Structure 1
């Protein structure tokens, strides 16, 4: 996830999807035998799952080049009887691993890309190991529950939108529900995220000698500066929840050369896709102002597909809250978790199409937040190892309870058929 949770009271409730939610799942556990089998299978795989998490952490790989990381997941899943297809969706480091033949297809999303310079400071090693663990747990009861367990290797969440590309290219076709779990300093069941646009803005001017012939130059660095000033002034007039933040990726080559090219990298975020579109319109005017003011031209391109906001399925979230609580965890109350967004994730695009959840599972970070080096250290500590196992158990138990509930099973199957049609 691109972002970090902290929870002072704030405004707003997230939008809800107009999906047929159906009746709530009973609080009484309907599949005790399945739960016991799930827990036993995950416990039997504990050492392999923890080793996977640590191995991914030791060899971090960036978006779309996670070859070693994907291979580690594939090898473990194949060894547990999953049928694996890779690559998929024209992505070299994406895969799909299936177990079972039930009509209800459940997707478990595994992320495994790292961050530049600070490795797994977002804890994707935990995400991947928990997804594999949940898959192993559900494989033990796939026939009993009448499900197909599908673990999806989804590259490039930090930048690149791997899930968006996989969704557009059919890798999520037929899936009735999609689940994953992400580490953070707190347990959060139904986090709020922001829609995100990932942009590169290139300004083009004219090089010249900065001392002998400056009048012949058109300073692309100045264009970037003007644009940044305009963005800074725009911030005071943003709607609640809208955000802009960026860096100078290229500001010139030498002080005595008028920069002929400069580049900004910016993230634009907003509580909804509609609010993001509004922000994009306003921000692009600021980039244009920089180019015009410095006598340059400019080009704006999308680095990643647009990330949509998370829309957690209320029933899946309710059941996950019960299951994570039964493991001794105490997630934030719903009114608190709705009070502040956590950043952005391409899982949002999945949840706007397919019933899904993206809960946060807490680890001990000693005050560190995601995208800090200290969080990367925490991501292989004892609490991180516990999060792998607890996350796998909670996800798998959630699927088992929903799959065994006739009303919810029918709902998920009906919606999957409607999407297919």
Structure 2
């Protein structure tokens, strides 16, 4: 591989990898402590004030030029080091889930991203790298990366990467495109025993919509997913409910098929309104997430590097599938990877309390260091190719950049 720098002065890639790994392992206690601290203080989307500050401080201490509260988001972080022509971003997530905390392991993601940054920091200029660690809030439904993408956070990049814990190891998550929206029915209250005929039942409207969706699922594609919850359905059994609310998610294989499926789901809600006489309103929760398109060359490098660390990638029938990530939108604009780090905890899986507990075990702590080292090594491998083809840099003006 060639670089824009004088290769007689650049370190051998093997030596650079050794240096990165030593630096990450030397910071191992610090990185594991960061993972556990974030885990112990779960913060929801756009409220990750502690976690984002801890990530920013760790990178500032390592010599990065750090911005905290950037791209219009108070809990976004951008930390840069190096001035080389190959621009590579490493993404940190740190938001938690309601009630069950870090049941998707974003504490591991954040610590591994910081670790990769620490490993690359002393090598960036010698290898022709500019390293950007991005703290990206609100992956769990808020679309933080999409908002940052629209504000230019990913402009000029040749590659972007992150790691994500799961029950089992996987080189690439089959991320689906997703849209998420709130539903509200408004009817008319009445005494449920004395004057039920004077009421317009909003809870019935939601029930009818759910029946329609249940029947619709039989006519959808294999990778389509429709899920939702009722968040309000009345206040007392003897009052006809005049308001019902819910939140619904529609997933499918690509952005091209997302809106046609979403329209079919919306018609089920319209049917509930028509049948009961209720008024229906819907509103999006976040920008639409795009399907994840991993870069195959980077993925090959990742697998080779992770295998060197002792991780393996067998065919696992219980691997994570049907999930979505706002990293998908990034992958439509910048060559991207999003490998899954197995915690060997199946049947405890993402978004379960048991997975929350699995994310601070010794296996999870090893995943922090392995993820950091493998990302640093993959960035080193990618550097030469990136500067050899500057046309691959993102401009942020792709038609697929946003929802």
TM-score (norm 2): 0.93
Does the aligned pair in 2 maintain the 1:99–1:149 contact within 8 Å?
yes
Q: 2:214 aligns with which of 221, 227, 232?
A: 232
2:186 maps to which residue?
204
**1:359-378 pair list within 5 angstroms:** 359-365=339-345, 367-378=347-358
**1:99-118 pair list within 5 angstroms:** 99-118=81-100
How many pairs does the alignment contain? 388
Does the aligned pair in 2 maintain the 1:241–1:271 contact within 8 Å?
yes
**1:270-419 pair list within 5 angstroms:** 270-333=252-315, 341-365=321-345, 367-405=347-385, 408-411=386-389, 413-416=390-393
CA-based RMSD: 1.8
Secondary structure, aligned partner of 2:393: helix
Residue range with higher mean Cα deviation, 314-323 or 181-190: 181-190
CA distance in 2, matches of 1:140, 1:342: 39
Alpha-carbon offset, residue 301 of structure 1 = 1.0
CA distance in 1, matches of 2:335, 2:231: 38
CA 1:371 to 1:304, structure 2 compared with 1: closer, same or farther past 3 Å? same
CA distance in 1, matches of 2:96, 2:255: 26
1:80 maps to which residue?
62
Q: 1:185 aligns with which of 167, 171, 188?
A: 167
CA 1:325 to 1:375, structure 2 compared with 1: closer, same or farther past 3 Å? same
CA distance in 2, matches of 1:137, 1:289: 56
Residue range with higher mean Cα deviation, 126-135 or 269-278: 269-278
CA distance in 2, matches of 1:147, 1:196: 34
CA distance in 2, matches of 1:251, 1:319: 51
CA distance in 2, matches of 1:338, 1:284: 31
CA distance in 2, matches of 1:66, 1:155: 7
CA distance in 1, matches of 2:218, 2:111: 42
Secondary structure, aligned partner of 2:73: coil
For 1:195-249, what per-residue CA distance to the aligned partner results, in whole angstroms no more than 9, with x for missing partners? Answer: 1111111111112222232222111111101100111111111122111111111
Secondary structure, aligned partner of 1:42: helix
Question: Does residue 250 of the first structure (1) align with residue 228 of the second (2)?
Answer: no
CA 1:337 to 1:368, structure 2 compared with 1: closer, same or farther past 3 Å? closer
CA distance in 2, matches of 1:344, 1:142: 32
Does the aligned pair in 2 maintain the 1:175–1:354 contact within 8 Å?
yes
For 1:146-179, what per-residue CA distance to the aligned partner results, in whole angstroms no more than 9, with x for missing partners? Answer: 1111110101111111111111121212222110
Alpha-carbon offset, residue 342 of structure 1 = 4.2
Does the aligned pair in 2 maintain the 1:183–1:360 contact within 8 Å?
yes
Secondary structure, aligned partner of 1:122: coil
- For structure 2, which runs of at least 5 residues remain unmatched after alignment? 1-10, 399-403
Alpha-carbon offset, residue 341 of structure 1 = 2.7
CA distance in 2, matches of 1:143, 1:349: 29
Does the aligned pair in 1 maintain the 2:103–2:350 contact within 8 Å?
yes
Alpha-carbon offset, residue 338 of structure 1 = 12
1:5 maps to which residue?
none
Alpha-carbon offset, residue 367 of structure 1 = 2.5
1:163 maps to which residue?
145
CA distance in 1, matches of 2:88, 2:197: 64
CA distance in 2, matches of 1:338, 1:302: 31
CA distance in 1, matches of 2:297, 2:317: 16
1:268 maps to which residue?
250
